[in-house]
Amino acid sequence: MAKFISAKEAAKLIPDHSTVGVAGMGLSGWAEEVAVAIADNFKETGHPCDLTMKQGSAMGDWKERGMTRLGYEGLVTKWSAAHIGSAFAMNDLVRANKMACHCLPQGVIVNLWREIAAHRPGLITKVGLGTFVDPRVEGGKMNEVTTEDLVKVIELEGEEYLFYKSFKLDVALLRGTIADENGNISFAKEGPINEGYAVAEAAKNSGGIVIVQVEYTAQKGTLKPKDVKIPGAMVDYVVVATDKNACWQTEGVYYEPAFSGEIRKPLHAIPTMPLSPRKVVARRCAAELKKGDVVNLGVGIPSEMASIVSEEGHTDNICLTTESGYFGGVPAPLPNFGSSYNAEASVDHGSMFDFYDGGGCDMAVLGLAQADEEGNINVSKFMIPDKKNPGKMMPRLTGPGGFINISQASKKVIFAGMFANKGEEEIVDGKLVIREEGNGRKFLKQVDQITFSGKYASKSGQEILYVTERCVFQLLDGKMTVIEIAPGIDLQKDIIDQMDFVPAVSPDLKLMDAAMFEETWGGIHM
């Protein structure tokens, strides 16, 4: 039977040099009150120290909450995660080479928990081949002090795979909504189910401890068995939060009942995008939809495509999904990314990636931060000007999230983003007008890091599009090829001259649908 303790008591249970696993996305699943107590105890006593943290998705709010609570030198010395950009203090330590860090595919990490629980040696998959995770490229290592090899190439039945090694998990640090007296955990007010069960069983079967923060307690026997997502038999300690600020459902809201499935939100109440170049990009992506498609939407402009589908009245004709585990409904953009309004079903994090990895997605719409002439995409690590040292560059570290899994396995992949960084553009009389050219190019001779491999995609036979407000590219015969151009845009001056390489131009070059540049569209045809 689980023991109920305070956050301060929980912090003292974590041994020095231990490996700690967490589950969730954003602030979903994150045990904020316990994390604060861990940091406070470290500042007071120097313990726990030398921790290794393991996480799947981003854990943080890009400010002070989440994994950044643990960003003190010596507290965490090794960090493995799919996304590290939202935990600023931790990120700073990685950039300063004061913490070793691996970035691995999200779907790999959330499914590796099950391999650990079952005492299997690791996860064998093609996910990551040809990307920076491939040990022949960077092995997922994000700085100079990261030397440990966590991934290796193996051959099985005449084919190449990557092997991600299992490890012993000493502590699972998780969050639910309700704990009954026996420690059974309900996720009643949570959004995604996440991978909490898998992390708990990995720790339990490693001989470790499971700590779960909750908001409420209930009498034993009052929780419905199907509502219990982590059985009490797997839970050692329960912390009942004393501050509701430690129990936010997402980065953006304390509680949205449409995310937990308690209500269905009217479609007219879901925010829509004003007409802008960003909306044009989202519309052009939506134009690729076919009735019955199962679709994943990434963060940024891709997630905003969901509001286009809702606005155009097609939410019942396709199935929008999130990697956190939602099927159907309208996925939410930041700061609520990972949640979905009016979802039809919610599965655990790892099961969703099984679906993605097996090619279940008909189409994925993902971010476009950098692209190069081979069709490679980078969304994980960038060299940017160092403001403190003029003339020098520094790394901006983000990580791939679920990008690698989803981009490698989806039947059609669209990379969506603005053509350039920090430019000024607007739509005037149905045409795109560039007021000021962007000062940061996205289409480079070579990307800073390969998060998506154009060569791998060319071999796999995927259909790959790159959608911007100025033009649309397609990867054809391994070459970035312009296939559409926006009304009002000059091919040479506004596109080719603003790239570090010369793309191919389709002999059938077309204008983008002019209706996309009007207030009303109606261009999703099913």
What angle, 0 to 180 degrees and rounded to 10, lies between the N-to-C axes of helices 277-286 and 301-311? 70
Contacts of 237 (CB under 8 A, 6+ apart): 2, 3, 4, 5, 10, 13, 209, 210, 211, 212
Strand partners, 504: 481
pLDDT value at residue 389 = 81
**Dihedral sign from CA coordinates of 85, 91, 92, 95:** negative
Dist. CA 132–CA 143, nearest whole Å: 12
Contacts of 124 (CB under 8 A, 6+ apart): 154, 156, 161, 162, 163
Q: State the average pLDDT over residues 191-213.
A: 97
Does position 180 have pLDDT exceeding 90, yes or no?
A: yes
Does position 387 have pLDDT exceeding 80, yes or no?
A: no
Q: Token digits for 98?
A: 């004061």
What is the b/e burial string over 330-343, where b = at least 16 CB atoms within 10 angstroms of the residue's CB? Answer: bbbbbebbbbbbbb
Contact 401/299 with Cβ under 8 angstroms?
yes
Percent with pLDDT over 90 in the chain: 90
Give the active site residues. Answer: 323
Model confidence pLDDT, tens digit, residues 417-475:
999 988 899 999 999 999 998 888 999 999 999 999 999 898 888 999 999 999 999 99
pLDDT value at residue 393 = 78
Contact 318/285 with Cβ under 8 angstroms?
no
pLDDT band per the 50, 70, 90 thresholds, residue 388: confident
Kind of pairing between the strands at 151-156 and 122-125: unpaired
pLDDT value at residue 258 = 95
Domains and CATH numbers, the chain: 3-242 (3.40.1080.10), 267-367+401-517 (3.40.1080.10)
Nearest of 143, 52, 67, 57 to residue 105 by alpha carbon: 57
How many beta carbons lie within 10 A of that of residue 438, not counting itself?
Answer: 16
Dist. CA 55–CA 487, nearest whole Å: 44
Contacts of 21 (CB under 8 A, 6+ apart): 53, 54, 55, 113, 169, 171, 172, 173, 199, 202, 203
Model confidence pLDDT, tens digit, residues 246-278:
999 999 999 999 999 999 988 788 888 999 999
Contact 232/204 with Cβ under 8 angstroms?
no
Helix (H, G, I), strand (E, B) or coil at 111: helix
pLDDT value at residue 269 = 82
This prediction's pTM: 0.93
Dist. CA 5–CA 188, nearest whole Å: 21
pLDDT value at residue 395 = 82
How many beta carbons lie within 10 A of that of residue 73, not counting itself?
Answer: 13
How many beta carbons lie within 10 A of that of residue 143, not counting itself?
Answer: 18
pLDDT value at residue 326 = 95
Model confidence pLDDT, tens digit, residues 477-505:
999 999 999 999 999 999 999 999 999 99
Strand partners, 321: 296, 327
Phi, psi values for residue 307, rounded to 5° = -70, -30
Model confidence pLDDT, tens digit, residues 38-55:
999 999 999 999 999 999
Does position 70 have pLDDT exceeding 80, yes or no?
A: yes
**Dihedral sign from CA coordinates of 492, 495, 498, 499:** negative
Phi, psi values for residue 277, rounded to 5° = -55, -35
pLDDT value at residue 272 = 86
Model confidence pLDDT, tens digit, residues 103-156:
999 999 999 999 999 999 999 999 999 999 999 999 999 999 999 999 999 999
Q: Token digits for 32?
A: 């904020």
Dist. CA 197–CA 383, nearest whole Å: 37
Q: Token digits for 387?
A: 């403001």
Q: Give start and end residues of each alpha helix (H) in 287-388.
A: 301-311, 349-357
Residue type at 27 in one-letter notation: L
How many beta carbons lie within 10 A of that of residue 56, not counting itself?
Answer: 36
E-assigned strands of 129-220?
A: 151-156, 159-165, 171-175, 178-180, 185-186, 209-214, 216-218
Lowest mean pLDDT among 17-31, 155-169, 299-313: 299-313
